[in-house]
Structure 1
Amino acid sequence: MASNLLKLHIQTSTTTLTYSHSLPFSRSKIQSQFLPSFSKHPLHISLQSFLPRKPLNIPKQQLLPIHCSVSNTTSPSPPTSKVHAILQAKTSLSAALQKPLNNPKLTGKIKKLQHPRFRVGIPLIDDSPESLSQLAFDIFADLQIKRRGFPVKILLIWPNSSSMVSGVNAFEALPSGLIQHIDLTSAMSVDNRVLNSADVAVFLAPNSSQLAVMKLVSDSLYPTPLVLFNPKWTFEEEDSFGDLSGFIGSFDVLYAFLGLEVRGLLSKRKGVVFKYVRDGVVSGQKWEVFVEEEGEGNQLKVVSRFKSRPSISEVENVLYNLMAVTSPITKSAKFLKDLVSKVTGRKSVN
C-alpha cells in the first residue's frame, strides 16, 4: 500500500497500541486499554498513514453506517494514490478559500469580520525538509483560486530555517512575487509589508512548542485567510494546550485521512478515517470510517460516520465491533449457543 510518499508502520501488542503516523494524528505513542476478545484470540488494530499501491474498489452505494445517521448524498471516496490525495486537498482548499478571498470587506461596520482558518493534512513518509517542501509545492504551486480576477499571493510560513531553504529551492521556478517564504521562528521580526501583502498565509508543519508565536503571527495577519498544514501534534494533545486549545480548535478541518489495518484471528483488512470538504461548507461534511469488505474485491465501504472528529478510542471501538461481528469465533460461539438451546429446550437469550 503506498506510493513512494507514504509508508509508515505501526507496532501493536496485546497490551498497548503504538501509533506512528502523520496528520491527522501526528507521530506519538499512546497507551490503550487492552481490547476485549473471545477466548485467547485478541484483535489487533493498527493505525497507519498510507496510500494504496493500486486503486481500491469503492462502490457508489456505500454501506449504512453502524453508529450514526446517514445522509442521502454520496460520500466522497478516500484517495487511491498520492496524486489523488493532492487533487482532493487542492479541491477542498480552492472551494473554501474562494469565498472569503472575494467577499468585499464590511466598510463602516462595527461588527468584526470572521477570520477564515482551515486545516489540511496529507501524511508524509518522513519529517525531512525535502518531503515537506515537495508536498507544499504539489499543493500550493498552482492552487486554482483568484482574488478579483488575479492570482493570489501565498505566504508560506516554514517551521524552521532548514525547511524554508528547501522550500525556496522547490518554488524557485515560479514567477516572482506569487509565493513568499518566512521562517516561523523569526516571523515576528518580519517587515509588516510582507505580512500585509499576502492573500493567504499557510503554517507548514508547526510544532506544539511554536503555538504561542503562531497565534501572534495569526493575529498580525487578520483578516487574511489562514491554512494550518500538517501540524506536528496529535488531536488528543490539543486538550492540553490550555488557552491555546481554543485557537487551534478555530481551524476548520477541510481534508484529513488516516490509514487503518484491522487484524482478526483469521483475517486482515484495511480502512481509512477520512474527511473531505469539497464544496467549502465545513459544517455539512462528517468524518467517516471506511473499511475493506472481505470477499468483495477490496471494496471500501462506510461503517461509521461522526459529526465531529472521532477519538482514537472511538475508532478502535468501531473496528472492534465490526471485526467481532464478522469473526469466525463469534459465529461459532453463536452457533454453539443456539445448538445448546435446541438440545435443552431452553430459549436462546440474545
Structure 2
Amino acid sequence: MASLSFLNSNYFHSIQISKPSSSSLTCIHSSLSSPNPPNSKDEAIQQAKTSISTTLEKPLNNSSKLIGKFKKLKQPKFRVEIPLIDGSPDSISQLALDVFGDIPIKRKGSPIKVLVLWPNPRLREAANAAFKSQSDTKVEHFDIPSLQNRDPRILNSADVAVFFVPEVSQLDLVRTVSDAFNPRPVVMFNPKWAFEEEGNFDDDLSGFVNSFEVIYCFMGLEVRGLLSKRKGVVFRCVRDGVVSGEKWNVFVEEGEEMKLVSTLKARPTIVEVENVLYNVMAMNSPITKSAKFIKGLVSNVTGRK
C-alpha cells in the first residue's frame, strides 16, 4: 500500500477535526478491487494517463461516425486532478508533457491530435518550450484569452481539447470554447479553484462545471485532531473507461501505509470527509482505546457484553 512521502507538505489541504454534524453520510464498505493511491510522482502520472487514455478511447474512435448523425449526443467531458509540487510554469508545463507527450490512446487510422488550452501566454510559452523535445508530437498549444481574436476554425484540427489549469474568471470563455468543440471530448485538468468553491457558482456555471466527470483525483489532506495529526487522501481512479462504476475512496496514513477507511458513491465534500476522519481518529485515540479496554475487562468479569 502507498505512502505519501513523495508529496511536498505544502500540497496537503489542512482539516481541523471536530465533532461531526448531525447530517448523515452514506458510506460503502471497502472492497478488495479498490485502486490504491500512488506511492510516487511517476506512478500518479501513469495512473492519470491510464484513466485519460481508456476513457477517451471510445468517444475518439466513435467520433467520426457520430458527427452529423446525433447532434444532441452528450459531449464527453472529463476532469483530472493530480498533485503538483509547485505551481511554477516549468512544473505545470512538465506535467502536461509527462501526461500528453506520449499518451497511449488507441485509435484506428490517424494519430490523436490534442489541443491544450492555457490560461495565459506565459504558460503557453513554457509548454511550447517543454514540448520541443517531442519532435513528432501531435499536441498544439494556445492560450485561452487569444482565442477571442482567432478564427474558431483552429479548433477543427484537434480531436480532443484540454483546458489546463483554467481559472474561475475564464469559465464563461471555457464554456464557449467547449461548446464550439462539441461533440468532440474535452478535458479539464487541474482547475485552479477548490471543489468547495463550486457551491458559490451561479446555476449556469455550476451546471457546466458539474458536467465534467472526474476520472482521476488525488487530493491530499492533513488531518489535525485534538491530540494528533495525520495525512490522508481523497482518491478516485477510473481504470477501465467506465466512469459511473468507480467509487470515491478516503485513505488515512498509518505508519508507512495508506489505509482505506471509506468508499463513497459521490464526491465527498470537506465536511463529509471531516465526519469520516473524525470517526477514524476518535476510534484510534488513546481515550477511546482505553474505554474499549475497560469495557472488555468488565465483559470478561461479568460475562456481559
Shorter-chain TM range is 0.7 to 0.9
Partners of 1:263 and 1:106 in 2: CA distance: 51
1:168 to 2:128 alignment = yes
Partners of 1:158 and 1:2 in 2: CA distance: 30
Summarize deviations over 1:52-83 as a string: whole Å, max 9, x none: xxxxxxxxxxxxxx962347551111010000
Larger RCO of the pair (alpha carbons < 8 Å, separation 6+) = 2
Summarize deviations over 1:291-339 as a string: whole Å, max 9, x none: 2335xxx332211011111000111111111111111112334556788
Q: What is the aligned partner in structure 2 of residue 274 from structure 1?
A: 235
In the TM superposition, residue 126 of structure 1 has moved relative to its aligned partner by 2.1
Q: What is the aligned partner in structure 2 of residue 303 from structure 1?
A: 261
Which region of structure 1 is more displaced relative to structure 2, 110-119 or 235-244?
110-119
Contact 2:19 2:275 in 1 (8 A): no
Change over 3 Å in CA distance of 1:69–1:182 after alignment to 2: same
Partners of 2:259 and 2:27 in 1: CA distance: 14
Partners of 2:242 and 2:60 in 1: CA distance: 15
Q: What is the aligned partner in structure 2 of residue 36 from structure 1?
A: 19
Summarize deviations over 1:121-176 as a string: whole Å, max 9, x none: 11112221111101000000001114323221110101101000101101113236
The correspondence for 1:201, drawn from 145, 151, 161, is: 161
In the TM superposition, residue 107 of structure 1 has moved relative to its aligned partner by 6.5
Partners of 1:76 and 1:334 in 2: CA distance: 32
TM-score by length of 1: 0.76
Partners of 2:101 and 2:261 in 1: CA distance: 36
Root-mean-square deviation (CA, aligned residues, Å) is 2.9
Q: What is the aligned partner in structure 1 of residue 223 from structure 2?
A: 262
Partners of 2:272 and 2:74 in 1: CA distance: 32
Change over 3 Å in CA distance of 1:141–1:300 after alignment to 2: same
Partners of 1:122 and 1:334 in 2: CA distance: 39
Partners of 2:137 and 2:277 in 1: CA distance: 48
1:239 to 2:199 alignment = yes
Greater helix percent: which structure? 2
Q: What is the aligned partner in structure 2 of residue 8 from structure 1?
A: 10
In the TM superposition, residue 95 of structure 1 has moved relative to its aligned partner by 0.2
Change over 3 Å in CA distance of 1:178–1:341 after alignment to 2: closer
Partners of 1:147 and 1:335 in 2: CA distance: 60
Summarize deviations over 1:174-232 as a string: whole Å, max 9, x none: 23671111110121322233200001110010110100011011111111210100000
Q: What is the aligned partner in structure 2 of residue 58 from structure 1?
A: none
Which region of structure 1 is more displaced relative to structure 2, 154-163 or 175-184?
175-184
Contact 2:119 2:164 in 1 (8 A): yes
Contact 1:259 1:273 in 2 (8 A): yes
Contact 1:264 1:327 in 2 (8 A): no
Partners of 1:335 and 1:76 in 2: CA distance: 34
Change over 3 Å in CA distance of 1:336–1:106 after alignment to 2: closer
Change over 3 Å in CA distance of 1:110–1:257 after alignment to 2: closer
Contact 2:11 2:84 in 1 (8 A): no
Count residues in correspondence: 295
* Structure 1 letter corresponding to 2:19: P
User: For 2:271, what is the secondary structure of its paired residue?
Assistant: helix
Which region of structure 1 is more displaced relative to structure 2, 168-177 or 125-134?
168-177
Contact 1:102 1:147 in 2 (8 A): yes
Summarize deviations over 1:86-113 as a string: whole Å, max 9, x none: 0000000000000000014336745522
Q: Percent identity?
A: 57
Partners of 2:94 and 2:67 in 1: CA distance: 40
User: For 1:271, what is the secondary structure of its paired residue?
Assistant: strand
Partners of 1:266 and 1:231 in 2: CA distance: 34
Partners of 1:107 and 1:320 in 2: CA distance: 50
User: For 2:74, what is the secondary structure of its paired residue?
Assistant: coil
Summarize deviations over 1:22-78 as a string: whole Å, max 9, x none: xxxxxxxx9x7x7139xxxxxxxxxxxxxxxxxxxxxxxxxxxx9623475511110
User: For 1:231, what is the secondary structure of its paired residue?
Assistant: coil
Contact 1:113 1:223 in 2 (8 A): yes
Unaligned runs of 5+ in 2: none
Partners of 1:334 and 1:112 in 2: CA distance: 59
In the TM superposition, residue 274 of structure 1 has moved relative to its aligned partner by 0.3
* Structure 2 letter corresponding to 1:132: I
1:102 to 2:85 alignment = no
User: For 1:182, what is the secondary structure of its paired residue?
Assistant: strand
Change over 3 Å in CA distance of 1:170–1:322 after alignment to 2: same
In the TM superposition, residue 114 of structure 1 has moved relative to its aligned partner by 1.6
* Structure 2 letter corresponding to 1:248: V
Contact 1:188 1:217 in 2 (8 A): no
